[in-house]
Structure 1
Amino acid sequence: MAAHGPYLIRLTHKLETDGRIFFLPSDKVYGYLLPYKPKGPMIELVLESFTVGRSVKANHRILPQTGQVRFKHFDAISKVQFALIKDKIGVFLEDRSSNGTYVNRTLVGRSKRVLLSHNDKIGVTEPKAIHFIYMHSNQDQYPIELTQKYTVAQELGKGACGTVMLGVRKEDSTQVAIKIIKKKEVALLPSSNKGNVLNEVKMLRAIEHPCVIRLEDAIETPDTLYIILELADGGELFDKIIEKTRFQENEAKLYFYQIVSAVEFMHSKNIAHRDLKPENILLVSDDESRPLIKITDLGLSKFVDFTTHLKTFCGTPQYLAPEVLFSRVRGSGIYDHKVDMWSLGVILYILLCGCPPFNPMHPKKSLVQQVTDGDYSFPESQWASISPEAIDLVTQLMTVDPKKRLGAAEALVHPWLADKEIQLKAEALMRPNVNREPATSIASKTRSGVSALFKRPAEEANGGQQCKRTKQ
């Protein structure tokens, strides 16, 4: 029998002695049950009837609290909420509850059964909740190099560079995100041969920042690159923007300080993101009182040829810096870390007013021309309540000339972000176990030089383009 880590629970044939329950080992695993929210160890299913509920006699007992996460509506859970039953046809879920068990948000109904499929989502007492995920044990569609270490579950999302799947590390049952990049669909850098990929992974694994998604591992086959990433399951900043429309200024500042802190750290390690946008900024949880963010795909530029990727980019250029768009036309591909700073300016603009700075329906200019001209404004109807310091930071980030555009270290000491209360809140989120004053990596001697930069007129910072409040 294969060895398993302490967090992979194998429940098999039950033996009762003196009121105590024992489980005998078996290798006949037909599926997995993954406690998703709250997170828990992945369970290997072997028993032909496997029960879940709050009773101590259930094969899997639902507890009122796991770590710091409480099981919502725990008191409504039945002693035996549901059972997983295997027969010749397949695996069925049988609802044995009083308050409802849901499969893919559809009520099963007391004493009724539903045939389960791979990645079916199970909710307990709540139709919209995902408490468990059922997975077949057959993982043949994935290479053995991956399935030896990870069980692949449901799809989390798709992007220009590949598909992201939920995964579970078998060694300790840690949930991870697995980014699957098909080589024939995405141009990889010539240096991305097997040896170099492993070297890059080793380097990137050593880089840790509380607001950067950690790269855990990478597995390469002749056709596919699998990048294993830390999982942040609070959703995308993009979805939060859609939900809230716009952020209060101090709220935006708390998010943005974390984002800039992460970018400054990565730039100090000579790593540029090149594809910053709200979809690539994730929330650790859905707890709005503690909005810790994490930037994902920061190490992707080490593997993916972004020059080719951006040349073939067919979506909106809303977040791309002017020099990136120029390079697409000229074919030069020459630009540096400052492309990230322009993207940060666009993100901040959207956080503060709820709208993008460039209008795809502009009667005279294409979106690309608006970006390359730096043709944006601050309509009074949307910006009247926003501080001049915030507008100044947006302007100095969205400066067409990258030589005049703020760097990440400079942005961190801009007067708008030099808010001690916000910095302390952000640092408490990023480093909850450290009791110290907020710090940036910029040297004190740089601060005096930076202060003069912030006194420049906005139109000078933006290469002559005046970006001021306008009436609309």
Structure 2
Amino acid sequence: MAAEELDPTQSTQQSTQSSSQTTTQGDPCLPDKGVWGSLIPVNDANPFVKRIDFLKSKLSYTIGRSRRDPTVDVSFKYFLRMSQVHCVFEWDGEETSTSAILIRDLNSSNGTYIRGVRIGRNESRLIRDGDEVSFAPVSHRPDRTTRDDRDDYRFKFRHMACKQRSREGLYESYDVHCVIGKGAYGTVVKALHRRENKWYAVKMFSGDRLRELLSATVSGGSARRMDATAAHLKQEVQILQGLRNPYVCELKEAFFEGYSVSVVLELAKGGDLMSYALKHDVLLEPEGQYFTYQICEALDYIHSQGIAHRDLKPENVLLTDDAPPIVKLADFGLAKVIDSLSDMQTRCGTPAFAAPEVFDDSTEGYDKVVDSWSLGVMLFMLLTRKTPFTDTSNEPNWPLLEDFNLSDAGVDFIRRLLELKPQARMTPAQALNHAWIAAQGPKQRARLLQREESLLREAARRQATPTPEERVEESQSKKRKASVQQLGKSMSTMSVGNEDGPAAKRTRAEQGIIVRHAPEPPRPVMPWTPIDPNSDEIPGLGLLQE
């Protein structure tokens, strides 16, 4: 029987799957023993889609809009762009790391898409863990506020056929929760570290995408050279993993499985600087000084480690949920390592924020001061909501800063960042001593100390969870301790009974049984027999003395 899609008038707790499917109510991305694959909705705001599980008892599932066609296993009746019988997911039945799952288009009208690439009509493609699947072209509207979430039928596919997958690599320590965004090379998910009780952001980079990039970047594309480059990639990630700065988004660890990479990053819950600026219309000058100092600290640190960001923009400046927020410079990690597989001559970055020498073919590479230029452009835009340059002039619109009442020191700060000659451009280290932000230093350090103390107190409250072996040992220890305590209480409460009064009652904790199905009758009180000093009987034993 075909699965019925969720009706908006029904409870959102109802399943979208057929009776032959089950929906796990826990972590939506954890592998399940009885499941060989799952489709996880990318957009949780769509009320018509839920997680879809493919059970191992059935090797293929047909997707479509029809509710009457008996061949359709999962039906999306409200997705009008889907064909009546759209595509089919097929599993080869293997439960090893080499198990294969393919998706076959069934002559659909609007197409079936993997990672944004359309599958030909009646053609098949292998689908891998983490791939994004959609059953029609993804529409992008310029006005994001008017996008209809109910028309978003994108899913992330999870390959769960391998029995050991749930305890390998990333899943050995992390519970993956949900998709929170998409990066340049993969999907970003939110994950919980089970032992630390702490949330992280995980960037999952598609193996196919990295393989294509390596093949195109490495001269000749030979397997040996690609493997050597991949090994170099791991070394670079280890370098990034060692970065420690309060204003840099921490790369905790990375997991490599073939060409697929999962990078665990510090989770910044406050959004990014662009969203912050849009929410507040423009940044006031004190806010600009506050954030700029932190960004310069982060840039100076990564430059001292031999790393250039090369794509500095408000979207890559993440914020914590503190009040006021703390900057976390991000997106200079694995994506930048991949971009720089050859050398610094790679023409990368967002054009609006990129320094002039990046696009100058006459120059041989460029220096880390490209980040200073990007900072100047970004700061100008955040303070004025306009770009510093126009189509008709290469000279920054300096009068606009005066219109927004920026101080002379602030104007000079931006002028020195937007120097056309890289040699004359102010570096982040020099910027920290500039009069416009130098006074921020002591204030920022004091705030960091307060935040560190707060985090330490929180970590003390959130103690690491014990391992399964530790749980068993702790449980056995508690049982032994409870038995000894119960024995001690029983012996310490022994007393001479009172014929006229009821027997002493034990508390529910002492009873060891929480629920009683019926009240027990009171036990009869046995009074002590008076002792006859002239008797030959031994008191309490009923034996005669010889």
Q: What TM-score do the two structures reach when normalised by structure 2? A: 0.49
- Between stretches 401-410 and 379-388, larger displacement belongs to 379-388
Matched, 1:208 2:244: yes
Q: Report the CA distance shift for 1:155/1:104 in structure 2 as closer, same or farther (over 3 A).
A: closer
Matched, 1:354 2:354: no
Quote the offset at 1:302 in angstroms. 6.0
Q: Which residue of 2 aligns with 1:221?
A: 257
Q: Which residue of 2 aligns with 1:387?
A: 407
Quote the offset at 1:185 in angstroms. 3.8
Taking the aligned partners of 1:168 and 1:254, their CA distance within structure 2 comes to 31
Match of 1:428 among 428, 446, 449: 446
Q: Which residue of 2 aligns with 1:282?
A: 318
Match of 2:328 among 291, 294, 297: 294
Quote the offset at 1:278 in angstroms. 0.6
Q: Does structure 2 retain, via aligned residues, the 8 Å contact 1:31–1:44?
A: no
Q: Secondary structure at the match of 2:450?
A: coil
Quote the offset at 1:342 in angstroms. 0.6
Q: Give the letter for the 2:260 counterpart.
A: T
Quote the offset at 1:312 in angstroms. 7.1
Taking the aligned partners of 2:424 and 2:335, their CA distance within structure 1 comes to 24
Matched, 1:178 2:202: yes
Q: Secondary structure at the match of 2:424?
A: coil
Taking the aligned partners of 2:23 and 2:44, their CA distance within structure 1 comes to 23
| Larger RCO (CA within 8 A; separation ≥ 6) | 1
- Between stretches 148-157 and 377-386, larger displacement belongs to 377-386
Q: Which residue of 2 aligns with 1:268?
A: 304
Q: Does structure 1 retain, via aligned residues, the 8 Å contact 2:345–2:364?
A: no
Q: Give the letter for the 1:117 counterpart.
A: R
Q: Give the letter for the 2:436 counterpart.
A: W
Matched, 1:156 2:180: yes
Q: Does structure 1 retain, via aligned residues, the 8 Å contact 2:23–2:52?
A: no
Indicate the structure (1 or 2) with the bigger Cα radius of gyration. 2
Q: Secondary structure at the match of 1:163?
A: strand
Taking the aligned partners of 1:118 and 1:211, their CA distance within structure 2 comes to 39
Q: Report the CA distance shift for 1:344/1:431 in structure 2 as closer, same or farther (over 3 A).
A: farther
Q: Secondary structure at the match of 2:26?
A: strand
Match of 1:117 among 29, 34, 51: 51
Q: Does structure 2 retain, via aligned residues, the 8 Å contact 1:30–1:137?
A: no
Quote the offset at 1:141 in angstroms. 8.7
In structure 1, the gaps of 5 or more residues are 1-27, 35-41, 47-89, 91-102, 108-113, 120-135, 365-369, 436-472
**How many residues of Structure 1 are paired with residues of Structure 2 in the alignment?**
306
Quote the offset at 1:353 in angstroms. 1.6
Q: Which residue of 1 aligns with 2:506?
A: none
Match of 2:366 among 332, 335, 350: 335
Q: Does structure 1 retain, via aligned residues, the 8 Å contact 2:248–2:328?
A: yes
Q: Secondary structure at the match of 1:428?
A: helix
Quote the offset at 1:227 in angstroms. 1.5
Q: Report the CA distance shift for 1:118/1:174 in structure 2 as closer, same or farther (over 3 A).
A: farther
Taking the aligned partners of 1:260 and 1:270, their CA distance within structure 2 comes to 15
Q: Does structure 1 retain, via aligned residues, the 8 Å contact 2:191–2:200?
A: yes
Match of 1:32 among 15, 20, 26: 26
Taking the aligned partners of 1:433 and 1:244, their CA distance within structure 2 comes to 24
Q: Report the CA distance shift for 1:346/1:183 in structure 2 as closer, same or farther (over 3 A).
A: farther
Q: Give the letter for the 2:383 counterpart.
A: L
Matched, 1:414 2:348: no
In structure 2, the gaps of 5 or more residues are 1-21, 54-155, 219-225, 454-546
Q: Does structure 1 retain, via aligned residues, the 8 Å contact 2:401–2:411?
A: no
Q: Which has the higher strand share?
A: 1
Matched, 1:246 2:270: no
Q: Give the letter for the 2:333 counterpart.
A: G
Q: Secondary structure at the match of 1:32?
A: coil
Quote the offset at 1:154 in angstroms. 2.1
Q: Does structure 2 retain, via aligned residues, the 8 Å contact 1:139–1:152?
A: no
Q: Give the letter for the 2:258 counterpart.
A: P
Match of 1:397 among 417, 427, 440: 417
Q: Report the CA distance shift for 1:199/1:248 in structure 2 as closer, same or farther (over 3 A).
A: same
Quote the offset at 1:106 in angstroms. 9.2
Taking the aligned partners of 2:243 and 2:350, their CA distance within structure 1 comes to 31
Taking the aligned partners of 1:311 and 1:209, their CA distance within structure 2 comes to 27
Taking the aligned partners of 1:383 and 1:306, their CA distance within structure 2 comes to 40
Q: Does structure 1 retain, via aligned residues, the 8 Å contact 2:30–2:176?
A: no
Quote the offset at 1:216 in angstroms. 0.9
The CA RMSD measured in Å over matched residues stands at: 4.0
Q: Does structure 1 retain, via aligned residues, the 8 Å contact 2:380–2:387?
A: yes
Q: Report the CA distance shift for 1:295/1:405 in structure 2 as closer, same or farther (over 3 A).
A: same
Q: Report the CA distance shift for 1:302/1:347 in structure 2 as closer, same or farther (over 3 A).
A: closer
Identity score, percent:
30
Q: Give the letter for the 1:353 counterpart.
A: T
Q: Report the CA distance shift for 1:157/1:434 in structure 2 as closer, same or farther (over 3 A).
A: closer
Q: Report the CA distance shift for 1:399/1:118 in structure 2 as closer, same or farther (over 3 A).
A: farther
Taking the aligned partners of 1:306 and 1:382, their CA distance within structure 2 comes to 39
Q: Give the letter for the 1:351 counterpart.
A: L
Q: Does structure 2 retain, via aligned residues, the 8 Å contact 1:33–1:45?
A: no
Q: Report the CA distance shift for 1:228/1:381 in structure 2 as closer, same or farther (over 3 A).
A: closer
Q: Secondary structure at the match of 1:403?
A: helix
Q: Report the CA distance shift for 1:333/1:137 in structure 2 as closer, same or farther (over 3 A).
A: same
Q: Give the letter for the 1:252 counterpart.
A: G
Taking the aligned partners of 2:209 and 2:275, their CA distance within structure 1 comes to 27
Q: Report the CA distance shift for 1:165/1:281 in structure 2 as closer, same or farther (over 3 A).
A: same
Taking the aligned partners of 1:44 and 1:183, their CA distance within structure 2 comes to 19
Quote the offset at 1:45 in angstroms. 11
Quote the offset at 1:137 in angstroms. 13
Q: Secondary structure at the match of 1:303?
A: helix
Taking the aligned partners of 2:30 and 2:370, their CA distance within structure 1 comes to 45
Q: Which residue of 2 aligns with 1:166?
A: 190
Quote the offset at 1:115 in angstroms. 8.8
Quote the offset at 1:157 in angstroms. 1.9
Taking the aligned partners of 1:396 and 1:323, their CA distance within structure 2 comes to 16
Match of 2:268 among 232, 253, 278: 232
Q: Does structure 2 retain, via aligned residues, the 8 Å contact 1:183–1:224?
A: yes
Q: Does structure 2 retain, via aligned residues, the 8 Å contact 1:178–1:229?
A: yes
Taking the aligned partners of 1:158 and 1:351, their CA distance within structure 2 comes to 24
Quote the offset at 1:351 in angstroms. 2.3
Q: Secondary structure at the match of 1:294?
A: strand
Taking the aligned partners of 1:347 and 1:410, their CA distance within structure 2 comes to 18
Q: Secondary structure at the match of 2:254?
A: strand
